[in-house]
Structure 1
Amino acid sequence: MKSKGMDIENKHVMQKQKLEVIDILKEAVQIYFRNINFIIFTFLISLPLLCFLIYFETYLQGTLAEFIEILYQLPVKPAYRLFIPENITQRLSKDFSLKLIRLGFLYLAPLHVIELGTVIVSVNLASKVRSEERKLTLKEMFRNPFDIFKFKGTFITSIYVILLPSCTLLVLIWIVISYCMILWDSSFYILFRVICGVGLGQLLKVYLVGTAVWNMSILISILEGVHGFKALALAEHFSRGSQQQGFLLMFIFLVWGVCLRLPCLYVGCYKEGYGIVLQTGLFCIGNLLKWVVCMVYFYGCRRNHQLLENKIEEGIS
């Protein structure tokens, strides 16, 4: 009975101390806009990422536009989709496959390294802005902004982190392609769409919950100096009881990215410079804010578990 009472009390402590999503977003925005020097500094260090993202987004949206064009050339009736025209098969097997390989290389090599360096510097500084009462000057921010040893450790964690989302994304892509192209009898097509839609929704939720944990492991590597599987284990431990928060936060930024990309893809911004630059700039701002949000989320989860552990120790004593 005593153990059961302690469990109920522990759950009550977690619920009482748990930050709401709106509170996390408010604190992150306050940190981001608290110091104008922080905005200037993050803008300057994000320029290499912005420049490469413009190229990457142009190539990505061009590839997506080509894929949509291929889908429109498929037979309308699902029963006829087994007989894909030869010209479409050649495009998928040769030209489009090479573009996907190149896109994967651009994401895994240059983009990942540039983004990781930007995240390390931004999060490290955001943590200082959050903890220090006085405003840091721009000169202080530029003084030793990058730690090569911290980059090495965080890079090790990021390798583990990349493998997990990549596998999940491959499954998501496979479901989407199957949803669009696989052969099914018309009488079962509606049922197939429902099953695929439910499966895709559940897998997307698992992916977003996992993304919150994976991002937290990166933050643990940056702020706590713990790397690899240990960082992942700590992130999973701290996020227990707060998965719903992590899901909602990641869902907000997923919607932000989709809402930026879809109009640009529809209008064809990737064909001209101005639209893609604006879209990429807004995407960069959202990405920086996302990492500040993840930092606040991490500190909140860690504080909750420290309070819970203290409560357990008091109960034992």
Structure 2
Amino acid sequence: MKIEEDLGYINVLKRATKLLWGNINLVLFLCLCSLPLFCFLIFFELSLQTTVSFASQYLVRQLNNWNYYYVPRDAALSENLLPLLIQTFLLYLFPYSLLDLLTTTIIVSASWIVHTSEEEPLRFGQLVRRTVEICQNRLEGCLITSLYILLMSTPVLFGFFFVATNYFYIISLIGLGDYSHYYYIDLDEDSGGYYRSSRFDDPVRMLFDAVMAMFHGAIYLVLLAMFSKWSAGWNMGLVISVLEEDQEEGQNIYGTDALTISAKYGKGHEKRGLQVMLVFLVFAIAMRMPCFCFKCTESSNGHRVLYTSFYVGLICVGNMIKWVACVVFYEDCRAKVLEKKGDVEIGSKAKTFVA
């Protein structure tokens, strides 16, 4: 089998974009299928913004009052934070995960049908019918594979949480988070008056703060790279659960079997998978950051909902391109494994013939 040379991650993204936007029926179908996820994400993101706002206010209050014997607490803040955390977690675990899994299965199935179809162009009704046939047979296996992925990704997510918590804990112990003590009044003996001094003038204190920030930032980046690298294999496992079946038994491939095949296909392509996943992960974070930094929760509801709808729409478009890119990445990795397998079989037959 003669196939193209190894694709760089830029070419993977280009092929995915070309495949997606080269068929208007595919774009229309995927947009309609992503609409339920889009609507729910608006509600989920608004809840997430409120939760992050309450959590940040609570952490700042605790850090600013760490050195006081009596710590004043905002009763409404502390009482509302825990229910918000539970609500956001449950929304992510059940409705969001199921909607995302269903949307992912449809995107992978439809993009693969268009990619492998010999009919030009593929009609909308044909695309819908073939996609439904694949999804209704593979959705259960995809659910099992996604549960394995959730189990394996949980330690990494706890790692992100531990790094952030540990950093806040350290700076609270040494008083770096106590902004009320950064400025204090000293007596000027020469003039007989007072002047304002700042702890920012302490180079040792500032150096330690910078070292702590760089240390925890480096750990965070390492975890981010590991998560992106592993998510490439996990996502390919979901693609395998949708597109492949056991030729001998005629059953769907899912769970540990799909992840094992994914590791086999992705061997030697880890860097490319890392780069592809990192692009979409950074994109998703970048879309959310302006709202968190500029405190959308404090703005009027109209502007908050409008901006949230805007970046959620971009995230849904990025999600479509991401899964089409995963299909392209899967196809290329699988083709190279089959090519190597074919070369080995041809070589063994040649040796047998010579003998």
TM range (shorter): 0.7 to 0.9
How many angstroms does 1:33 deviate by? 0.5
Over residues 25-58 of structure 1, what are the superposed CA-to-partner deviations in whole Å (9 max), with x where a residue is unaligned? 1110011011111111111111111111110011
Q: 2:179 maps to what in 1?
A: none
- 2-side partners of 1:180 and 1:32: how far apart? 43
Choose the corresponding residue for 1:278, options 305, 310, 318: 310
Q: 1:307 to 1:264 in 2, by over 3 A?
A: same
- 2-side partners of 1:148 and 1:173: how far apart? 37
Secondary structure in 2 aligned to 1:73?
helix
Percentage of pairs with the same residue: 28
**Which structure has the highest helix share of the two?**
1
Choose the corresponding residue for 1:109, options 91, 94, 97: 94
Secondary structure in 1 aligned to 2:73?
helix
How many angstroms does 1:302 deviate by? 1.0
How many angstroms does 1:144 deviate by? 5.2
Q: 1:265 to 1:75 in 2, by over 3 A?
A: closer
Q: 2:184 maps to what in 1?
A: none
Choose the corresponding residue for 2:31, options 35, 43, 50: 43
Over residues 260-311 of structure 1, what are the superposed CA-to-partner deviations in whole Å (9 max), with x where a residue is unaligned? 1111233444543211111111111111110001111111111122222233
1:94-243 matches, cutoff 5 A: 94-133=79-118, 134-143=120-129, 145-146=131-132, 147-182=135-170, 183-185=172-174, 186=205, 188-224=208-244, 225-243=252-270
Conserved? CA contact 2:142–2:241, under 8 Å: yes
For structure 1, the 5+ residue unaligned runs are 1-12
Aligned length in residues: 301
- 2-side partners of 1:220 and 1:84: how far apart? 58
- 2-side partners of 1:84 and 1:57: how far apart? 35
For structure 2, the 5+ residue unaligned runs are 175-204, 245-251
The root-mean-square deviation of aligned C-alpha atoms, in Å, is 2.6
Matched, 1:310 2:348: no
Conserved? CA contact 2:44–2:91, under 8 Å: yes
How many angstroms does 1:135 deviate by? 1.4
Q: 1:35 to 1:70 in 2, by over 3 A?
A: same
- 2-side partners of 1:311 and 1:84: how far apart? 75
Q: 1:297 maps to what in 2?
A: 329
Conserved? CA contact 1:74–1:84, under 8 Å: no
- 2-side partners of 1:106 and 1:74: how far apart? 27
Q: 2:73 maps to what in 1?
A: 87
How many angstroms does 1:190 deviate by? 4.2
Relative to the length of structure 2, the TM-score reads 0.77
Secondary structure in 1 aligned to 2:289?
helix
